Amino acid sequence: MDFELTTEQEILRKSVRDFSEKVIKPVAHELDEKEEFSYETMRAMGELGLFGMCVSEDYGGQGMDYISYCIAVEEVARVDGSHAATVAAGNSLGIGPLYYYGNEEQKRKYLPKLCTGEGLFGFGLTEPNAGSDAGNTQTSANLDGNEWVINGSKIFITNASTDITLGSTNLARTGVRPDGKKELSCIIVENGTPGFEARPMHGKLMWRASNTSELYFDNCRVPEENLMGKRGEGFHQMLGTLDRGRLAIGAMGLGGAQGAHEAALRYSKERIQFGKPIGTFQVNAFKLADMDMMVEAARLLLYKAAWLCDNKKPFGKLAAMAKLYCSEVMHDVANHAVQLHGGYGLMKEYDVERFYRDQKLLEIGEGTSEVQRLVIARLIGAI
Ligand SMILES: Cc1cc2nc3c(=O)[nH]c(=O)nc-3n(C[C@H](O)[C@H](O)[C@H](O)COP(=O)(O)OP(=O)(O)OC[C@H]3O[C@@H](n4cnc5c(N)ncnc54)[C@H](O)[C@@H]3O)c2cc1C
């Protein structure tokens, strides 16, 4: 076994860490407060090469492996969850379906702009009545001549209503299969299409500087060739996208836990009570030791899942485990980090307050923790 990262991966980690410290950290608190998506940091992240990370250079991507992608997301998340969300959703959910399931024309049309970060794409799976039960899609798309006529709505869609969003890949019912079940297909809808509206959602607890949207389709007409891949393969495409996406959510949990742990360790050395740094009280030192151990274990699980993906081995079970475990580690570590900060940890001027809020989405988005346990239980044959 070889636990060494490659020289390229080490260089990538250093450059993303430096960037995140210099460019994102100074604005993270203010953007969170204002609930503002930053086009400036978005442009800078694009210039650094944080989009199209696993896309081949033929389409303008960075041609990296999934371990590298996880390292990059981890390093952004170590500083800020909202920016990590933009990167993770941009790569996994926006670019992923087009790259893995789009035809040559669709790839050539959208990927180059998405890979430079000049454009973003949404992933429209969740609906008001189809969340964990994602196959219960109500949105319909009916062929009328050579156009799909789409009706329905989507909710909580990341990156779907920014000024630079090009469009979204949406799951819709396109008919009934011979076995009587719904036929589900993925259809691309460009922003600005008549009958389509992408509305930003406000008032989030977490990821406040990332873009989240509701999508509305009202007799929205798109060309027949906007179908992604084959008709009837939409649900399979969405699940494949989520398998890879879980690696990035795991990386967000890992990076956030790392950031919260570092902040807590620093504070524990500075804060004096009873004449001593609070970190020297055994209960706190043990807490810090446990946090470090949890972060290390999370990293091993995530990198193994990414390694399996890179080596074309089955990785679905470990991706679900990494997503679940890293989210729960961040939950615990952020909670300990706030506790170690005492009353100051509840104040917005301390980063741990934001980490504490941001972690919660990781246990809900891209399949809740309960759904991950269902996935794992099915894969080990328990149910
Ligand atoms: C900020 C944000 C960004 C998001 N980005 C996207 C995106 O880009 N694209 C997209 O398509 N979606 C996105 N989502 C949606 C997200 O994936 C869903 O919120 C999530 O899948 C859960 O669906 P739900 O909210 O409808 O909860 P529900 O499915 O209603 O679940 C409610 C509770 O019931 C539990 N539950 C449900 N079914 C079961 C079961 N069978 N067994 C045990 N427990 C169960 C759940 O675990 C949960 O605790 C985003 C959500 C948020 C908040």
Alpha carbons 337 and 250: distance in angstroms, whole number: 19
Residues facing 216 on adjacent strands: 153, 197
| Average predicted confidence (pLDDT) for the chain | 98
Tell me if 366 CB under 6 Å of ligand 1: yes
pLDDT in tens, 167-224: 999 999 999 999 999 999 999 999 999 999 999 999 999 999 999 999 999 999 999 9
Closest alpha carbon to 38 in 57, 25, 54: 25
Alpha carbons 120 and 378: distance in angstroms, whole number: 34
pLDDT at 321: 98
Alpha carbons 379 and 291: distance in angstroms, whole number: 29
Q: pTM for the complete prediction?
A: 0.98
At residue 363's C-alpha, the angle toward residues 99 and 232, to 5°, is: 35
pLDDT at 313: 98
Mutation pick for ligand 1 pocket among 165, 210, 212, 364 (CB with most ligand atoms within 8 Å): 364
Q: Are 61 and 123 spatial neighbours (Cβ–Cβ below 8 Å)?
A: no
pLDDT at 367: 96
Selecting among 74, 127, 353, 366, the annotated active-site residue is 366
Alpha carbons 190 and 222: distance in angstroms, whole number: 8
The token pair at 331 is 């939950």
Closest alpha carbon to 112 in 187, 191, 56: 56
Low-confidence ranges of the chain (pLDDT < 50): none
The token pair at 252 is 């967000």
The token pair at 97 is 């379906």
Alpha carbons 85 and 77: distance in angstroms, whole number: 8
Tell me if 247 CB under 6 Å of ligand 1: no
Residue nearest to atom 52 of ligand 1 (CA): 156
Q: Which H or E run contains 249?
A: helix 234-270
Closest alpha carbon to 321 in 293, 286, 297, 288: 297
Tell me if 123 CB under 6 Å of ligand 1: yes
Alpha carbons 188 and 353: distance in angstroms, whole number: 38
pLDDT at 164: 98
Residue nearest to atom 14 of ligand 1 (CA): 156
Cα dihedral 326, 332, 335, 339, rounded to 10, equals -140
Tell me if 232 CB under 6 Å of ligand 1: no
Rg (CA), the chain: 21
**Which ligand 1 atom is at minimum distance from the Cα of 158?**
8
**Which ligand 1 atom is at minimum distance from the Cα of 124?**
11
Residue nearest to atom 9 of ligand 1 (CA): 157
Contacts of 320 (CB under 8 A, 6+ apart): 246, 367, 372, 375, 376, 379
Alpha carbons 170 and 154: distance in angstroms, whole number: 8
Q: What is the residue whose two structure tokens read 């959910």?
A: 93
SS3 assignment, position 357: helix
Strands 140-144 vs 147-158: parallel, antiparallel or unpaired: antiparallel
296 assigned to active site: no
Tell me if 207 CB under 6 Å of ligand 1: yes
Tell me if 89 CB under 6 Å of ligand 1: yes
pLDDT at 187: 98
pLDDT at 281: 98
The token pair at 293 is 């151990």
